[in-house]
Amino acid sequence: MQHLIRTSDFSKDEILGLFDDAREFLKFEPNEILKGKIIVTLFFENSTRTRSSFEIAAKRLGAEVVSLDVSTSSASKGETIFDTVANINAMKPDAIIIRHSECGLPESLAGYVDCPIINAGDGKHAHPTQALLDLFTIYEHFDGNTQGKRVAIVGDVRTSRVAGSNRRLLPRFGIEVCFISPECFRYDGDEFKTYINISDVIDELDIIMSLRTQLERHNQVYFESLNEYAKDFCITNEVMGDRDILLLHPGPVNRNVDISDEMLKDPRCKVLKQVTNGVAIRAAVLKKLILG
Task: Enter the DSSP assignment of 225.
Answer: S
**Marked catalytic residue, from 50, 129, 146, 213:** 50
**Marked catalytic residue, from 3, 37, 125, 127:** 127
Say which residues have a Cβ less than 8 Å from residue 243's Cβ, sequence separation at least 6: 202, 203, 205
Strands of 246-248's sheet, edge to edge? 193-195, 176-180, 150-154, 207-210, 246-248
**Marked catalytic residue, from 23, 49, 168, 217:** 49
The Cα–Cα gap between 236 and 256 comes to 8
Q: Does the annotation count 72 as an active-site position? A: no
Q: Does the annotation count 127 as an active-site position? A: yes
Q: Does the annotation count 218 as an active-site position? A: no
Q: Does the annotation count 243 as an active-site position? A: no
Q: Residue 155 — left, alpha, or beta (φ > 0 → left; ψ -120 to 50 → alpha)?
A: left
Closest listed residue to residue 134, CA positions, set 93, 91, 163: 163
Q: Does the annotation count 48 as an active-site position? A: no
**Marked catalytic residue, from 77, 92, 231, 265:** 77
The Cα–Cα gap between 68 and 225 comes to 36
Contact 8, 121 (CB under 8 A): no
Q: Considering all CA atoms of the chain, what is the largest pairwise distance in Å, rounded to the nearest integer?
A: 57
- Measured between its terminal Cα atoms, the distance across the chain in Å is 8
Q: Active-site residues: which are they?
A: 49-50, 77, 99, 127
